[in-house]
Structure 1
């Protein structure tokens, strides 16, 4: 075979090398048409370090792969202490037969600056957001404690998503990055809300319980425990993003200052409480001074945050916190070796918390997989810790009381009366807590905005109704109502006005559907469910028609609607034989089809559908 001359082989080798480099740098697209509920994007994105902060989105789009993009090998993005800005890029495509919307979540609530862009195939920017916890909370496209970005991909199209991550002064937090469907995000958000509601509710119940005990007993250890638990509660509520979302959404600077300041306060309250709990002034006075000194150092190191300096704060605070934890564990282990029951309780409580913290950070670092155990390990560990410490305080108080009874036998009757009064007050507070828990359970059944039953209750109640009607042979009527052109209303008037409309509609529903068997649900967004207590299809249709007219008579202006006011489309299903209905979901699907039939017929109407029959429209 003839050999090509060197003058020809040189350019060929160069061309092949460039093609190989281009193929390596090209970014594989993520197919989102068949995306599962949640995909961890950490290993699928590309990273670009912008040390001089010289790039903007137009430059990145124009220069493409000519820049030094690097494939990410991190399960969770973590830039630690860095003076650079960082760009994150991923490409998604939709091969499904319909357009899709996917939600991209940055699950770190304390990220300083986030600029996000969605770019189409022609390089045009179709969406952009500028958010972060140093900007007002209403800068977020989705009102959530973390950063959630909606990305829409048309049929047979692709989109590139660019994220610019930057910090105030070079301190990055580990940032889980995931892509999910609306259903997946809703399921995750509901799961997290339930878990955090139970967690913070339990902490608050412990705090109130021990505060009431302190009011009743004036035991100083209880007050120190309440201060310790209270600082931890505020710290976790802030670190998880709930405080910024619900308490001070218009004060991002204060939110950022509070985190390190509260860590310092937490260290001080921890040290003071531990000193009291373990009685260190008596058993180890030298260790007491060291522990309080390290805790004071943690508090002092947090003060520069008031002037806007954060990276130096954590460079000093993290080692101090580690030293403080080690000292407390060491002293507790030493006292446990000397058969101190309180020290053993303290050692077990802190051990459980540290295991939870270790599991969580190993998950953040990508060493352990994401699951319920690793995600909520800190919450479970801290909950167990505070419960054990509360039990230890109860044991300590009981021990002191026994010693006092043995030393003061002459006052036995007085002491007994005090104990009886304490037991009565504890029983009363316990009943109050049980009542609060029952109210919390009731809140979990309803939609917080409208007060109607939520989707979970829809499935439970309708399945129960179906079982009863199958046995009795009675008919069942169910309707789905959707507010017409509600997205246009939100786009025109804002989401706050949209929420007001949802409240007005739900209030009108409660006024109209008052029969004992009527059940009203908010199924999601602007969609409502109505379980009617009616004997016939015409009666149910008449009830819905009255409500439809009443809604139209509210005359809520809606410039984006062809009717000029807010209206609703209704799909009504009549089941004469409930044995033909397998589940609540099957009933919902029939009503939903009827509702979409109403929308196709110019909206603002009621379409009825007997189960398995033909449609009627009103």
Structure 2
């Protein structure tokens, strides 16, 4: 019987033992405080520091792991007991390295009385912090042989975590400088990659690069918000926005990531079913951005973490499917998203209290996103290299043909020369022609426009521009699909070409569903006649597509002038475009002209 009682006593006692007090000084300049923490849960958030000091409560000892209670609505009280056995005074800093806690109330107690108190957390303006730092830093001062109890009350709509370390000042600021430099390298890398690809977008006009830039910018802004840098440097007084920013930028990662994936991997061609899921991912991300301003943070953060994790998996599966389908650049993409998925899952598991909070789990997303951004940049570079290689191969084929012609018998020189000229013309046509519609492309239009502009300016002759846009074309794409949209573009282009009469008139696809017609030696009246003829040709007969017939209309803007030094091609295009939008504003399916000043 005595043995049974003794055994039960040993089983019960550990449940009520207090955590071991920490004795100063520190040998290595820092000490993990996890094992010295005791805690109690205040489910109704009614306890006060006076109640804790006056009553004996059932404090629970923490493990060696970081104090982590995931997402909940309770308040949590933490207690530390730290003594100074030395003769001299000792000053230390206690760091709570989790920047998105809403409320962190600190009470330093000596001999049962509150000696100092601090009210921290990102629900207070940044300038109210006792020490200027993105994390929560608590200064503590022990006198000779003094014992202090440090109480912390933590309440947060984010994950309740308290990774606590005690430092001496010199060691802390040395470590923090190194940590800040590493973060600076990360943010600098992301900014450089975004700037570099933004320049490429301006040069090439390829929307894929712009989507990539949006993705690259959202990722560091999300991590800066999560790590406290954004609250410190960007919006130190906007406490409500500080929570929403985490949701908005992580949702932005999903939105831009889904759009970039669809565009870069040509998913509608290589994996049509996954393309539909990517659309769902895109619109889900947009919805979560809106929800960030409506629903409580607690629900939003769980939803966005789950949604972002699923989006990462979907992107990875899409990359693998396109890689298997024969798209060579998909291999870099797949590897890149593997790194990103790994980092995102580690962060999600950390916030769900499945993985412990440490340097690796806290910065896994930084590591994964850095690798992903670099690898995606390689993928974009590979795409440029493939296009360049195709051009080189075409040029090489021309050279081979030339050498073969020179080696032929003299009697066949003329025949081979004609073949070469035909091949050269074919290459020129390919480089100057929009492959979908068969019209001239924008590059050829700009080149021809410059020549005609200079000629008209020299001889003071009229020149006119017609800008044409297919009405409600986005609805056609969204409702019937891009392939049906392509059919519509091809038929409208054919009717535009039919409506242009003179050989000198140049019709080109300007971009998307927009077309441009250049009319040399043509005044406003003649240009209006051409535009109206084309409008009637398009509206007269429904367009036959691969699925069914569609009634299509166009709107057109016309502008005519005599070129001079005070005027420019860009101004001319802008006036024609302005007239186009006036035609749309007036109800579409009509022609509107902008008169020269």
Q: Normalised by the shorter chain, which TM-score bucket?
A: 0.5 to 0.7
Q: Which residue of 2 aligns with 1:60?
A: 52
Partner of 2:134, secondary structure, is coil
Q: Which residue of 1 aligns with 2:72?
A: 82
Shift of 1:401: 4.1
Aligned counterparts, 1:322-401, within 5 A: 322-358=309-345, 370=358, 376-401=363-388
Alignment partner of 1:264 is 2:251:
yes
Alignment partner of 1:175 is 2:162:
yes
- The 3 A distance-change label for structure 1 pair 32 and 296 is farther
Give the conservation status (yes or no) of the 8 Å contact 1:359–1:368: no
Unaligned runs of 5+ in 1: 1-8, 419-618
Shift of 1:143: 0.7
- The 3 A distance-change label for structure 1 pair 285 and 377 is same
Aligned counterparts, 1:111-260, within 5 A: 111-120=101-110, 122-168=111-157, 171-260=158-247
- The 3 A distance-change label for structure 1 pair 241 and 317 is same
Shift of 1:400: 3.0
- The 3 A distance-change label for structure 1 pair 362 and 301 is closer
Partner of 1:399, secondary structure, is helix
Moved more, 320-329 or 195-204: 320-329
* C-alpha distance after superposition, 1:166-200 (max 9, x if no partner): 124xx424332211111221122111111011111
Shift of 1:226: 0.6
Pick one of 402, 417, 427 that aligns with 1:409. Answer: 427
Shift of 1:89: 0.6
Give the conservation status (yes or no) of the 8 Å contact 2:86–2:145: yes
User: How many angstroms apart in 2 are the aligned matches of 1:69 and 1:90?
Assistant: 11
Length, aligned pairs only = 399
User: How many angstroms apart in 2 are the aligned matches of 1:173 and 1:403?
Assistant: 55
Give the conservation status (yes or no) of the 8 Å contact 2:90–2:141: yes
Give the conservation status (yes or no) of the 8 Å contact 2:105–2:154: yes
Shift of 1:37: 2.4
Give the conservation status (yes or no) of the 8 Å contact 2:66–2:161: yes
User: How many angstroms apart in 1 are the aligned matches of 2:348 and 2:255?
Assistant: 23
User: How many angstroms apart in 1 are the aligned matches of 2:358 and 2:29?
Assistant: 14
Shift of 1:375: 5.1
Alignment partner of 1:285 is 2:272:
yes
Moved more, 128-137 or 257-266: 257-266
User: How many angstroms apart in 2 are the aligned matches of 1:323 and 1:21?
Assistant: 45
Partner of 1:307, secondary structure, is coil
User: How many angstroms apart in 2 are the aligned matches of 1:412 and 1:294?
Assistant: 37
Pick one of 24, 34, 41 that aligns with 2:26. Answer: 34
Aligned counterparts, 1:565-584, within 5 A: none
- The 3 A distance-change label for structure 1 pair 358 and 413 is closer
Q: TM-score, normalised by structure 2?
A: 0.62
User: How many angstroms apart in 2 are the aligned matches of 1:99 and 1:361?
Assistant: 42
Q: Which residue of 2 aligns with 1:616?
A: none
Q: Which residue of 1 aligns with 2:462?
A: none
- The 3 A distance-change label for structure 1 pair 114 and 376 is same
Unaligned runs of 5+ in 2: 395-425, 434-442, 444-597
Alignment partner of 1:316 is 2:306:
no
User: How many angstroms apart in 1 are the aligned matches of 2:37 and 2:194?
Assistant: 43
Alignment partner of 1:48 is 2:37:
no
Shift of 1:320: 2.1
User: How many angstroms apart in 1 are the aligned matches of 2:274 and 2:19?
Assistant: 57
Give the conservation status (yes or no) of the 8 Å contact 1:304–1:310: no
Give the conservation status (yes or no) of the 8 Å contact 1:332–1:343: yes
Shift of 1:382: 1.5
User: How many angstroms apart in 2 are the aligned matches of 1:308 and 1:353?
Assistant: 27
- The 3 A distance-change label for structure 1 pair 309 and 206 is same
Shift of 1:377: 3.5
Q: Which residue of 1 aligns with 2:440?
A: none
Q: Which residue of 2 aligns with 1:106?
A: 96
* C-alpha distance after superposition, 1:436-475 (max 9, x if no partner): xxxxxxxxxxxxxxxxxxxxxxxxxxxxxxxxxxxxxxxx
Shift of 1:53: 1.1
User: How many angstroms apart in 1 are the aligned matches of 2:171 and 2:201?
Assistant: 44
Shift of 1:262: 1.6
User: How many angstroms apart in 1 are the aligned matches of 2:272 and 2:326?
Assistant: 19
Q: Which residue of 2 aligns with 1:458?
A: none
Partner of 2:82, secondary structure, is strand
- The 3 A distance-change label for structure 1 pair 378 and 261 is closer
* C-alpha distance after superposition, 1:80-118 (max 9, x if no partner): 121211111111011223111111111111111111110
Shift of 1:267: 0.8
Q: Which residue of 1 aligns with 2:63?
A: 73
Q: Which residue of 2 aligns with 1:464?
A: none
Moved more, 295-304 or 138-147: 295-304
Partner of 1:25, secondary structure, is coil
User: How many angstroms apart in 2 are the aligned matches of 1:196 and 1:241?
Assistant: 12
Shift of 1:229: 0.6
Give the conservation status (yes or no) of the 8 Å contact 1:76–1:366: no
User: How many angstroms apart in 2 are the aligned matches of 1:363 and 1:309?
Assistant: 21
Q: Which residue of 2 aligns with 1:296?
A: 283
Give the conservation status (yes or no) of the 8 Å contact 1:75–1:366: no
User: How many angstroms apart in 2 are the aligned matches of 1:253 and 1:124?
Assistant: 34
Give the conservation status (yes or no) of the 8 Å contact 1:40–1:75: no
